[in-house]
């Protein structure tokens, strides 16, 4: 008799919510009842408000239950869990039909939560390594052309066209054809409210491995590094195992799939500095030095890791590549709007009823995202502000919530999409405190190389404190404005350069919060 598959995610969010105990309880309960059950530890679907999301395989498809606590397990069994019974209030119906998931356009996260992250069979059964096989039959230029055709732009936040970056590295040959080149994956996911990179690595690591291998084939690099933040121990374990398995199975390492081509991959851990998500300080850190930002030019594409031409891409950029190669650049470019092609995995967090990952083609509005998917705030109070694009992203007031999710449209309102993190605040938020926090974050995380960021952020906190205390508000507001200009125009990298974004947006859209009386009145 085939045993019944029950899926309990092994993703960090699910684990944090007790998934291990739930899995153990399910196995124990099944054993007690003499049921043949195989508990599969899949990745997360990204419906975090339902985690731990337990799924049961049925002929109609997987039936979802969530959020499941250990104490619910016996009850669920009683309510017909093993046959996909839909009576229990925790039952969400067929997973694929949960609106939150059904309404998404999942290209990058197509396999997330469906497969066992470390199963090569699962991966291949769901189109895995199709892109790699195609790449192995293509010329480097043809691969680069396909990526260019997809319109893919860097998902780390800078939105630089990936294909053009790859072209630069492909063409860079300072030491002739023997030039050592590198592929570096930026997995130092440190933006507040973001988790898409982690989900890729925990739910579908082979996709990242495949994407990096294709990048290596495209530009002529035989060595790749994944620079992973040390705060992701689960991803670390999964990646290491996945690399080992992929290598053993001939998808990675020497003579990939008998092609004679080589690509080796290693995971390197960061040391807890946000600034090491900036590509040049990431390279410094990877070289074993202090995480200090480098001036550009030279671009890392020409003078990167250990001074060699290097592709530095975000996890999501590299993860999009297998699809692009497998289905063709046009298939990817068919999604999206304007110059923002393909899909963007948004990460909904903060004070929100239904937090999670939402992969959609560019073009949907922020309001739809927060209301249709997010279901409003968790506190039940009205949404007042939303920060998009991490701690350096602007706060958007309600007047801007209809802005479509599109790089250019966001830029036009002085905001950024960044890495797709969305953090929601209700009407109890004090926006002057948030502005202060932005400066404080910069104080904490500045590498200290350039003056505007090193000294400016500390002065920023002090000036905002004075404003909040009502000290010479007019002069200090002017000074804060000047400081924001100095940091934006003068800083060496986006750390100092973008810290003014949240500060200015808070000042512009929520000026009343900077007035001590106003603050008292509103939030007393």
Residues that bind other proteins (CB under 8 A): 273, 275, 290-292, 295-297, 442-459, 462-463, 475, 479, 482-483, 485-486, 489-492
Query: CB pairs under 8 A, 24+ apart, for 134-137?
Result: 134/325, 134/326, 135/213, 135/214, 135/217, 135/218, 135/325, 136/217, 136/256, 136/257, 136/259, 136/261
Please name the residues in contact with 28: beta carbons below 8 A apart, sequence gap of 6 or more.
Answer: none
As measured in angstroms, the least distance from the Cβ of 479 to other proteins is 5
Closer CB to other proteins, 60 or 482, in the complex: 482
For tokens 């944090």, name the residue.
16
Closer CB to other proteins, 29 or 445, in the complex: 445
As measured in angstroms, the least distance from the Cβ of 359 to other proteins is 30
DSSP assigned state of 398: G
CA distance 402 to 103: 19
Task: Give the end-to-end CA distance of the chain in Å, rounded to a whole number.
Answer: 66
For tokens 């404080």, name the residue.
440
Of 208, 209, 195, 198, the closest CA to residue 233 belongs to 198
Closer CB to other proteins, 12 or 457, in the complex: 457
Crossing angle between the packed helical segments 205-219 and 315-327, to the nearest 10 degrees: 80
Closer CB to other proteins, 133 or 459, in the complex: 459
Around 167, how many Cα atoms within 13 Å sit in the side-chain half-sphere?
A: 12
As measured in angstroms, the least distance from the Cβ of 294 to other proteins is 8
Closer CB to other proteins, 15 or 483, in the complex: 483
As measured in angstroms, the least distance from the Cβ of 456 to other proteins is 6
How do strand 54-58 and strand 61-65 relate by DSSP bridges? antiparallel
As measured in angstroms, the least distance from the Cβ of 502 to other proteins is 18
As measured in angstroms, the least distance from the Cβ of 49 to other proteins is 36
CB 459 within 8 A of CB 429: no
Closer CB to other proteins, 86 or 168, in the complex: 168
As measured in angstroms, the least distance from the Cβ of 424 to other proteins is 29
Closer CB to other proteins, 168 or 458, in the complex: 458
């Amino acid at each position: 008799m085939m045993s019944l598959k029950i899926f309990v995610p092994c993703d960090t969010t699910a684990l944090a919510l007790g998934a291990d105990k739930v899995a153990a309880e399910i196995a124990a309960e099944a054993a007690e009842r003499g049921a043949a059950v195989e508990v599969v530890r899949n990745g997360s679907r990204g419906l975090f408000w339902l985690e731990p999301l337990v799924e049961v395989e049925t002929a109609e498809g997987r039936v979802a239950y969530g959020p499941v606590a250990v104490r619910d397990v016996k009850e669920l069994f009683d309510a017909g869990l093993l046959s996909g019974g839909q009576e229990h209030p925790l039952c969400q119906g067929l997973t694929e039909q949960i609106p939150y998931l059904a309404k998404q356009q999942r290209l990058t996260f197509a396999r997330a939560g469906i497969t066992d992250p470390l199963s090569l069979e699962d991966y291949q059964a769901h189109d895995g390594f199709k892109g790699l096989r195609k790449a192995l039959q293509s010329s480097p230029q043809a691969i680069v052309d396909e990526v260019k055709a997809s319109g893919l732009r860097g998902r780390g936040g800078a939105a630089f066209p990936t294909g053009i970056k790859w072209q630069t590295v492909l063409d860079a040959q300072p030491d002739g054809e023997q030039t050592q080149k590198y592929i570096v994956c930026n997995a130092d996911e440190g933006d507040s409210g973001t988790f898409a990179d982690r989900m890729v690595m925990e739910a579908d690591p082979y996709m990242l491995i495949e994407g990096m291998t294709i990048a290596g084939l495209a530009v002529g690099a035989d060595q790749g590094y994944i620079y992973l933040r040390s705060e992701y121990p689960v991803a670390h374990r999964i990646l290491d195992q996945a690399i080992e398995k992929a290598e053993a199975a001939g998808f990675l390492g020497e003579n990939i799939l008998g092609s004679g081509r080589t690509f080796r991959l290693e995971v390197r851990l960061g040391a807890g500095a946000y600034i090491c998500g900036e590509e040049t300080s990431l390279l410094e850190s990877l070289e074993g030095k202090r995480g200090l930002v480098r001036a550009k030019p030279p671009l890392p594409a020409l003078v990167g890791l250990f001074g060699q031409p290097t592709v530095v891409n975000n996890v999501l950029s590299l993860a999009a590549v297998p699809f692009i190669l497998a289905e063709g650049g046009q298939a990817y470019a068919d999604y999206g709007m304007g110059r923002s092609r393909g899909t963007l995995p948004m990460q909904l967090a903060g004070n929100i009823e239904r937090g999670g990952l939402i992969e959609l083609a560019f073009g949907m509005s922020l309001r739809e995202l927060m209301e249709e998917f997010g279901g409003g705030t968790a506190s039940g109070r009205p949404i007042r502000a939303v920060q998009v694009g991490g701690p350096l992203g602007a706060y958007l007031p309600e007047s801007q919530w209809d802005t479509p999710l599109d790089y250019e449209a966001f830029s036009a309102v002085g905001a950024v999409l960044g890495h797709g993190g969305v953090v929601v605040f209700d009407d109890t938020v004090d926006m002057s405190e948030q502005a202060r926090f932005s400066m404080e974050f910069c104080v904490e995380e500045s590498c200290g190389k350039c003056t505007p960021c090193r000294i400016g952020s500390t002065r920023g906190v002090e000036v905002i404190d004075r404003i909040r205390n009502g000290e010479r508000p007019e002069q200090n507001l002017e000074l804060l404005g000047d400081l924001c200009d100095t940091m934006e125009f003068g800083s060496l990298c986006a750390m100092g350069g973008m810290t003014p974004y949240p500060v200015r947006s808070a000042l512009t859209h929520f000026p009343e919060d900077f007035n001590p009386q106003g603050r008292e009145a509103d939030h007393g």
